[in-house]
Structure 1
Amino acid sequence: MEPHVYVPRLLTDAAMREVRKIGLPVVVGGEDPPERAALLRDAAGAAAVVCTLTERIDAEFLDAAGPQLKVVANTAVGYDNIDVAAATERGVRVTNTPGVLDGATADLTMGLILATARRVLDGDRLLRERKPWVWGPRMLLGLDVSAGTTLGIVGYGRIGRAVAKRARAFDMKIVATPSRSAPPDDDVEFLELPELLERSDVVTLHCPLTERTRHLIDAAALRRMKPTAILINTARGGIVDEDALVEALRSGTIAAAGLDVFEDEPRVDPRLLELPNTVLTPHLGSAGVATRERMCRLSVANAAAVLAGEEPPTPVN
């Protein structure tokens, strides 16, 4: 098969124009993730793959693509969908798209914090159900975000720091897990995870999903949190043990959760859907028009650089 660029899922229009400028034939899928058989079939003979987090790039995929494959460009910051070791073993470069979505993800994180703390969806449902209501001193009380609450940031990287920047505008006290890459911040207190969980009114997750962080927030971690605390996750669903989270939300171990990612995504645990103390969104962290454009174009630029024999802008391996 003639070498080609394989794009399993349709990118933005501008990014697709950039793909075609590479000069190789382009095999492109639709808006939905391809079935596994189609993914392996269309990868065969590819010189470059510009994929998204929904495609599992493992040894089977790499072997199906063939030895001419030079680069897998992931249109995401995280790359837990890619077996980087298997790619490296085969001489395949892996890239991602860090930096360009920090602000958008931090914006959504603050949106989830505010919506959950101030019970925005509860109020919305009350009105849509057309139930009689009148303002009262005890009506739909929530957490005062700007009343000296403590925000615990688990993963103080680029996105974590962008969240901290926004939280400062709400006068939140900021604590975070230690980070070797983070510059010193005078107003951030770095704590190990157990103490951070105990002291925080809101805990927000911004660490990558690895074997070390899978189920980092389990039943024991949730028990360390305040019964009035809120958990926010815009990172990866697997960082949270959803069975434990459902039980914690049901029992009042914690007060609420705002989730943009899920352990078995795109499936959402139906128990979470039934809980009134959750705010749930379908992986919208980077879903700004300009942000998605930058992500897709950076991913294509990574692929084009490797095919041209150059160092890609944002390499993983």
Structure 2
Amino acid sequence: MDVLIVEPLDAEVLHWLGERHAVRYAPHLAGEPYEFRRSLFRVRAMIVPPSVALDAQAVGGAPMLRAVGRLSSGAENIDLEACARAGIEVVRPTTASAAAEAEFVIGALLQMLRRVPVLSDDGLLVGRELGSMRVGLVGMAPAARPLAQLLGAFGAQVVGYDPALHARDPLWQRWGVEPTGLPELFERCDAVCVLLTYFSRYRGLVGERLLSLARPNQVLVNLAHSSLFEEQALADALRTGRLAAAWFDSMEPGMLDPGRPLRHIDTLQVTPRVASTTLESRSRSAWSVARRIDELLGGKSSDEDFVITVRDDLVDLADGPEPG
């Protein structure tokens, strides 16, 4: 078998892959971990959902595996080090969800600016307009480019920080973002959007030192891993009003449990990782992953024209469309 697909996949993408390789489409294996691992011995590539763990033991049971695809950008369920040691490429879309994430950030900012009013000079509680603000982007992830464009269309000024980018890097100018230091970003900005790719060395990066610098009535949107934040420092900033509001698109399990610092904070909004999940972004992601897997497997399979296995049944497929 060339490709095992455990994640539900767009029918057109499935047909396209099936024309080129022997494909088994078995989303039911996501709920059957033992059967999933048994099926890996002759698999050369797979596409798995976040609920399926691919740890070192599973990698060891897949000697022919050369590629693992994920339709979303995260890879928390995959042992990246084990894959690297085995020469397995983890295929993830790099820009497919950028537009969706940028739109999500704009929506989150607009909601917070209206739903969490501030005290005006004449003593009234009022909302605010995005176009009057300076917005700071932490991390020049792919979503930063369309986000900067959308913010500019509103009239907002955009500044940014990325530990991997020098201030003279031409990317800043191309993306329309003014580079600045991280402390200065928190001091100067009315809104902060955290997009930074997570590495263990960044754990707790945003803590008391930075949050104490937050501009009055600052709002924050986080699409990055919640471990970038010091839990107690974030709770203190929200409870004291140093941060007017924060929106996290996912948090580590347990962070909102009873007894934890962030429990019952009205100005904290948490969504279940929905920023990157749209009909359009999922289609772009599926095509991106499928094309790369096809490249890694060397194009059309020599021993099968287009057969897809659905559970244990073989189904012949009509010609699918070429990717657009």
TM range (shorter): 0.7 to 0.9
Q: Which of the numbers 85, 88, 98 marks the counterpart of 1:89?
A: 85
Q: Which residue of 2 aligns with 1:68?
A: 64
Q: Report what 1:183 is aligned to.
A: 171
> Structure 1 residue aligned with 2:8, among 7, 10, 19?
10
Instruction: Name the Cα RMSD after superposition.
Output: 2.9
Task: Within 5 Å, give how 1:1-317 maps onto structure 2.
Answer: 3-30=1-28, 34=31, 36-37=33-34, 39-64=36-61, 66-119=62-115, 141-147=126-132, 149-178=133-162, 179-180=165-166, 183-185=171-173, 188-264=177-253, 269-270=256-257, 274-308=264-298
The amino acid that maps onto 2:92 is N
Residue aligning to 2:312: none
> Which gives a bigger RCO, structure 1 or 2 (Cα 8 Å, sep 6+)?
2
- Percent of matched pairs sharing the same residue: 25
Shift in CA distance, 297/243, structure 1 to aligned 2, threshold 3 Å: farther
In the TM superposition, what is the alpha-carbon distance from 1:258 to its structure 2 partner?
1.4
Alpha carbons 2:17, 2:23 under 8 Å: kept: no
Instruction: Tell me which residue corresponds to 1:128.
Output: none
Cα deviation, residue 249, structure 1: 1.6
Structure 2 vs 1, CA of residues 214 and 309 (structure 1 numbering), >3 Å: closer, same or farther? farther
Provide closer, same or farther for how the CA distance between residues 184 and 227 of structure 1 changes in structure 2, counting only shifts above 3 A.
closer
Question: 1:192-213, CA deviations, whole angstroms, 9 ceiling, x for partnerless residues?
Answer: 2122112111110111111122
Q: For the Cα contact (< 8 Å) 1:50–1:303, is it kept in 2?
A: no
TM-score between both structures, scaled by the size of structure 2: 0.78
8 Å CA contact 2:20, 2:299 repeated in 1: no
**1:131-181, CA deviations, whole angstroms, 9 ceiling, x for partnerless residues?**
xxxxxx97762333222x110100123211211111111211211014256
Q: Structure 1 counterpart of 2:153, which letter?
A: A
Contact 1:8 1:51 in 2 (8 A): yes
Please tell me whether the aligned partners of residues 8 and 34 of structure 1 are also in contact (alpha carbons under 8 angstroms): no
Shift of 1:301: 1.9
SS of 2:201's partner is: coil
CA shift, 1:62, in A, is 0.8
Give unpaired runs (5+ residues) of structure 1.
123-136, 311-317
Q: Cα distance, 1:67 vs. partner?
A: 0.9
1:130 matched residue in structure 2: none
Aligned to 1:133: none
TM-score (norm 1): 0.79
Partners in 2 of 1:276 and 1:54 — Cα distance? 30
Measured in 2, the distance between the counterparts of 1:15 and 1:307 equals 16
Cα distance per residue 1:100-140 (max 9 Å; x no partner): 211111011111111111118x9xxxxxxxxxxxxxx9776
Q: Could you tell me how far apart the structure 2 residues matched to 1:184 and 1:308 are?
A: 37
Secondary structure at the counterpart of residue 247 of structure 2: strand
* Whole-angstrom distance in 1 between the partners of 2:230 and 2:51: 20
Query: CA contact under 8 A between 2:251 and 2:270: conserved in structure 1?
Result: no
Give the deviation of 1:226 after TM superposition: 2.5
Number of matched pairs? 288
Q: Is the 8 A contact 1:112 1:279 kept in 2?
A: no
Counterpart of 1:40, as a letter, is R
Q: Deviations along 1:63-121, whole A, 9 cap, x unmatched? A: 13x2111111222234454333321221212221011211111011111111111118x
1:313 matched to which residue of 2? none
Contact 1:80 1:209 in 2 (8 A): no
Look at both structures and tell me which one has the larger radius of gyration over its CA atoms.
2
CA–CA separation in structure 2 for the residues paired with 1:59 and 1:70: 14
